[in-house]
Structure 1
């Protein structure tokens, strides 16, 4: 059984009346705007992942850590957790942004390569695995718990990470896989 997509206003969403799942998102964001957001997110992701998020000062020793180091520190203790954190907080968001950037660039410049449908399918799956906000919540919980035991200083990468998180949320909320398929079929 398929659902027909109704004519809805820009910025509104059509949901299934049974399960409340989103059927269609009539996004106002065009591929050229999505491309600009994705390129900005890719530029910001370099310092967000590589610059120190927090500095911990305990017993006259100061330790800095960034997102990638934090995930790799756990590899000996909990390799599965380390991989999941690395995948959901670094790999999936970066691949998602790259895939949306590629598809947005192709649609913006009206280029119809044969690999673009595969990019759309990959993007649809990656949206569910990009979990920067979950990492941010866990980082905030860890920071509040550590404040009782040591001095914490917010690093330069923390601000870039917040900017990346906001850009990522804007990209995901404005991206419509269905609209991209429609634009691809109309090329």
Structure 2
């Protein structure tokens, strides 16, 4: 949705027994509460919370634009990503797994405004450092995965993992070999490279000879 739904917020005030006097007139406690919340006394409701009744002020809050919510949430998300190892760059005290060079953030075809460590968000992203032809201007989120695929980056983790395994099996077949699957190693390689390519290497059989001393 372009906009978040409106919400009704309830603020708890004094206990009902302290909100009105014996003549059912609002006490100073209730008047002060209403004034502090910016509501009229007649709009205060009494509501039981547990076994105790309280004076409650209700406020209708208009839903924010989703783009603005994303702007705040994404920034918190980036800052909150945990890493076992991280690094600093430039003059900042900020630590991250690698220096942040660009931020691509789009919602509804528009840029979600974020600024992090002097890097501003935009619609531009980049593919493989050596194989791609340059910056990629994205019109929408829907085209992101395919645009990166064309630029030699497999964004989807499952696709990347399957692509590695298919290549390994094909290379092994060409060499009349057999692959012993190691899921932990496959997982590690999946997250090491953005456009994996399997190949077979060879070395001299001399290196298989164990020295007599051994």
The TM-score bracket by the shorter chain reads under 0.3
Q: Which has the higher strand share?
A: 2
Larger Rg: 2
TM-score with structure 2 length normalisation? 0.25
TM-score with structure 1 length normalisation? 0.28
